[in-house]
Amino acid sequence: MTLDTIGLIVNLAHARKAGVTLAELREMDWNPKDGGSFERIARRLTLDGKGNNAASAAFDKRAVAVYGYQNPGNGGMLGQTEWSHFAVSNGFSYQDQPWSANFHYDDPRLAETIDWLAGLAGKGLSAPYQYTRSMGADAMFIAGKAAMVPQGSWMITYFAANAKFDNAWLPLPRGPIGRRASMLNGVADSIWVGSKVKEEAWQWVKYLASSDCQGIVAGYGVTFPAIKGMAEKAVAAVQRKTGVDASAFLQMAKEKTFLVPVAENSAEIDEVMRGAMESVLLGRQRAAPALKEANDQVKLLLRRAPKR
């Protein structure tokens, strides 16, 4: 069994030139009203083609060379790396419990979160959604076009191999609830109900979940085992092999964590939510009416789903 969380990768070389310290980056907070210290730092990290940052009156948001923060995109029904951490740290929750038909995409706390994120592009702090959709936030970071990007622990190796400048993984900013938040995703082994070798499969699955096996997995530093103490071993392996400090992901696991929403007709729900989120990120609608309409469609889909 393994787990993953979300962290914030930061271009430290760029931050130093902008006069932003590691201590400031570690202690960022945000809110949907003025963006908190997170948005203030994003302004300092955003530069136009003449070297003016977004805190300067001379800043030209029509000619941005480096964006202070880049939202990875749409996110659909999960928003795992895109908006979930902001929304939940603002008090939002997806549903009452796994498999519950009562979703809360019409929550005003989600709406104000998405409106705030969508508004960053208008301030020149993030690239417009159309640009991100084609290039991708990860590629922008690697190219030095975005100074901060949220991503999952599964991307540690990718950035270690491709980012040719000093960078660091840091905890996400604290939200209005006073805590950071991250989706906690996990993978576990299972046995197919129709298997003809269930007993043999069970022996294998038991071994995979054992401390002996998870210790071997941790030693490769590719993923974080869920057994207590093994994730720390994986962090040490990552440090040894790549020089990357991945402890921010374990810190996020100790903050407010939440599970992936689980429901019938999830593919259809995701399609509905992608359409709603895109309409807001493109500036076609405000979040409140878009998400209210989407939530009504989600409820309709769930009413039609088979009862569990």
pLDDT value at 226 more than 80: yes
Residue 186 has a pLDDT of: 83
- pTM of the model as a whole: 0.93
Q: What is the CATH number of domain 2-186+258-304?
A: 3.40.190.10
pLDDT value at 168 more than 80: yes
Q: Domains of the chain: which residue ranges?
A: 2-186+258-304
Residue 306 has a pLDDT of: 65
Summarize pLDDT for 10-41 with one digit per residue, the tens.
999 999 999 999 999 999 999 999 999 999 99
Best CA proximity match to 88, nearest among 69, 67, 65, 114: 114
